[in-house]
Amino acid sequence: MSKTITVKTAEGKTYQYVDDGSPMQGGMKDVYFAPDKSYVVALFRDKQDYNSKERLTNIVKLFRERIFNQAGGEYWKDLFCWPYDMFELDGQVGIVVPAYQKHFFFQTGYNEDGNAIASIKGKEKEGKWFASAQFRNKQFRLHLDKAELGDWFKYFLVCIKISRAVRRMHAAGLAHSDLSYKNVLIDPVTGRAVIIDIDGLVVPGRFPPDVIGTPDFIAPEVMETKHLDKTDPNRKLPSILTDRHALAVMIYMYLLYRHPLRGGKIYHSDPQKDEELGMGAKALFIEHPTDKSNRPKLNQIKTTQLPWADVNKIPYTVVGPYLKVLFDKAFIDGIQNPIARPTSADWEQALIKTVDLMQPCQNPSCEQKWFIFDNSTKPFCPFCGTPYKGQLPVLNLYWSRKAGSFIPENLRLMVFTGQNIYQWHVNRNIFPSERLTAEQIKPVADFHLHNGKWILINRKLPQLKDLTADKEIPIGSSVELTDSKKILLSKEDGGRLIIVQLITN
């Protein structure tokens, strides 16, 4: 029989939770819902020592204050499931945590063949369900309902949200210590993500980690030295630098549905030692350009992992030039040199620039729905093989260092019906982040295919001008996109010019 239990904090605040005898269980905690399910109470099963209590106190008070009670703090409430209070009950420590938003729970829980996966309907959308090819493969008995999978574009939005949240955490001097697809909930339908299990945060020199991480995401230096005592100066423990490795792995897996280090190479006959070497001292990128010894062996791979496990058919270059560079830094330069790993801000910026290169696939049956323009004259979707047909405008962005003189930025914006221009495209001094105002997130212009011609409609740009025709483009009017057309977006400091490149197939 269920019973409602009331607990009180040291400050005298009360909370209630419902104990029905079968709580949700995490690695270290039992979790119970409040009567109205607006929050949960998580009780640590093991007794917490002074340092653990001090860590929790800082997490729910000081660290939370630094992130949420500052200007723009409301933004972060959607990206972190952060504990906001703690208490003790009969010697047992508990924390009070916001309940997950409804889009982070599976809505269907069955695949399209009607075979029930009752165990996940209504369960949290842990990232692990979306980071493996088999759960999206119709040949796999327990493949997810396609209504839960989203499309490739949404996974980029998910990765942007995760990178942004990690950036904020690291800026506060905090490391998650167990960043993985188990501690991040995602919703590929809406492109949302939230980081959970915040109670294990690491503060270097003050609050050491309780765990070394989750397999698949443990940094090589941590794996290589885990046999050493925690007090050994050569022992490497979770930190911001190891978070960077975990973040890179997570992004790679969400976009390519395979692990960047788990290939076909055998390092030792003993499975445990093979794992320790392959994820530690001998870690080798499966798509290393010169050392191909860890390429996946297709004759050893389950068909449900295909085609994603075939790095020749779907190489990591399909993610575009900006991310390709960062994956090289993470899994080649930084695999054994942590300081060389890309930061969370690096990932956030590269992901945002890559989104501007995305193009909808013209095949309505394509499962990914989107692909990234590869700067070729005959673009095609690498996932279903469908070539692009018709005129494809590509906008090359330039900015003015001094009046009347423009230089290229190595930035492009792809055009498709309904594509928008935002303030951050108009002016290089504006960057899409949590700092944008409500006005800055509104589109200022958009593109449409009208009577067989591509046009740009000006919605809110007071200085839009067709430089090629030396003609102003008033708000509410449009301009046709023709090859080599120059369009000035803004005359302000940081204002950009676009030059149209028209590809015809």
What is the distance of C-alpha 147 from the center of its chain?
Answer: 20
Q: 324: part of which helix (H) or strand (E)?
A: helix 321-328
User: By the 8 A CB rule, do 154 and 147 touch?
Assistant: no
Q: 211: part of which helix (H) or strand (E)?
A: none
In whole angstroms, give the CA distance from residue 126 to residue 209.
22
* Amino acid, single-letter form, for residue 353: K
3-state percent helix, strand, coil for the chain, nearest multiple of 5: 25, 25, 50
Which token pair is 50? 């002074």
In whole angstroms, give the CA distance from residue 285 to residue 260.
6
Start-to-end Cα distance in the chain: 68
Range 390-504 has CATH code 3.40.50.300: no
303 or 140, higher pLDDT = 303
Within 10 A of 197 (CB to CB), how many other CB atoms are there?
A: 23
In whole angstroms, give the CA distance from residue 396 to residue 408.
8
What residue segments make up the domains of the chain, in order of their start?
3-99, 146-356, 390-504
- Rounded to 5 degrees, what are φ and ψ at 245? -65, -45
Q: CA nearest 77: which of 89, 69, 68, 87?
A: 68
Look at residue 139 in the predicted model and tell me its pLDDT: 83
3-state secondary structure 226-292: CCCCCCCCCCCCCCHHHHHHHHHHHHHHHHHCCCCCCCCCCCCCCHHHHHHHHCCCCCCCCCCCCCC
Predicted confidence (pLDDT) at residue 173 exceeds the cutoff of 60: yes
Q: What angle do CA 243, 97, 106 make, to 5 degrees?
A: 80
* Radius of gyration, alpha carbons of the chain: 25
Note the pTM of the prediction, 2 decimals.
Answer: 0.95
Look at the domain 3-99 and name its fold.
Phosphorylase Kinase; domain 1 (3.30.200)
Predicted confidence (pLDDT) at residue 74 exceeds the cutoff of 60: yes
Question: CA distances (Å), 322 to each of 102, 244, 394, in order?
Answer: 33, 17, 17
pLDDT band at 49 (very low <50, low <70, confident <90, very high): confident
Q: Which CATH class is domain 146-356?
A: mainly alpha
User: By the 8 A CB rule, do 454 and 447 touch?
Assistant: yes
In whole angstroms, give the CA distance from residue 275 to residue 309.
19
* Mean pLDDT value across residues 244-251: 98
Look at residue 206 in the predicted model and tell me its pLDDT: 75
Dihedral angle, C-alpha 146, 148, 154, 156, nearest 10 °: -100
pLDDT band at 123 (very low <50, low <70, confident <90, very high): confident
* Mean pLDDT value across residues 107-115: 62
Within 10 A of 372 (CB to CB), how many other CB atoms are there?
A: 24
Q: CA nearest 128: which of 88, 180, 50?
A: 180
pLDDT tens per residue, range 455-475: 999 999 999 999 999 999 999
Predicted confidence (pLDDT) at residue 404 exceeds the cutoff of 80: no
User: By the 8 A CB rule, do 388 and 362 touch?
Assistant: yes
* Mean pLDDT value across residues 156-174: 96
Q: CA nearest 175: which of 106, 72, 244, 254?
A: 244
* Mean pLDDT value across residues 285-307: 95
